[in-house]
């Protein structure tokens, strides 16, 4: 059985690089209902740089381009609601990374601190939110995203 001495403390160097999204699962509180937040096969990347900055972009696979090249209000809303992106500096404290958002797809995110609980399993990075309201539909939940290191 592994003890505390068997676990290496996380450092920013453990995060450096680009990771591709494998899954994004939301567990609603208190029902426990689990759903694929961006569909069964989401697309996305998260990059952590040695300069202490990060960027993330996530989309639902198979999004439709606007029919005429210029999105109608309905098309624009569908595109907006099928993605998430933001960027800013990051800090690490134990197994919690904080993204200090200075640019985002939804200006309501700009200026916020997005905390994620980290689990590192080989070349997989699992980032989980604390219990909070989902920025897309407002439901109380935990969102868990599994990322694969890009080589």
Which mean pLDDT values do the consecutive 10-residue runs of the chain (151 residues) have?
Answer: 54 96 95 91 96 96 91 93 94 96 94 96 96 85 97 89
Per-residue model confidence (pLDDT) at position 137: 81
Tokens of 56: 């993330």
Contacts of 29 (CB under 8 A, 6+ apart): 131, 140, 141, 142
Per-residue model confidence (pLDDT) at position 7: 55
Query: Measured between alpha carbons, how far is residue 65 from residues 34, 60, 100 in Å?
Result: 28, 13, 31
Q: How much is the pTM?
A: 0.86
Torsion from C-alpha of 60, 87, 26, 66, nearest 10 degrees: -20
The class of domain 16-149 in CATH terms is: mainly beta
């Amino acid at each position: 059985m592994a003890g505390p001495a068997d676990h290496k403390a996380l450092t920013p160097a453990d995060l450096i690089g680009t990771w591709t999204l494998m899954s994004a699962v939301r567990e609603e509180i208190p029902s426990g209902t689990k759903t694929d937040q961006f569909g069964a096969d989401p697309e996305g990347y998260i990059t952590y740089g040695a300069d202490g900055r990060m960027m993330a972009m996530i989309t639902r696979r198979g999004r439709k381009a606007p029919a005429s090249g210029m999105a109608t209000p309905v098309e624009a809303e569908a595109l907006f609601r099928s993605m998430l992106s933001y960027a800013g500096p990051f800090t690490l404290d134990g197994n919690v990374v904080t993204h200090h958002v200075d640019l985002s797809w939804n200006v309501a995110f700009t200026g916020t601190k997005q905390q994620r609980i980290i689990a590192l399993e080989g070349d997989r990075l699992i980032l989980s939110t604390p219990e909070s309201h989902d920025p897309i539909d407002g439901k109380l939940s935990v969102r868990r995203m599994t990322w694969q290191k890009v080589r």
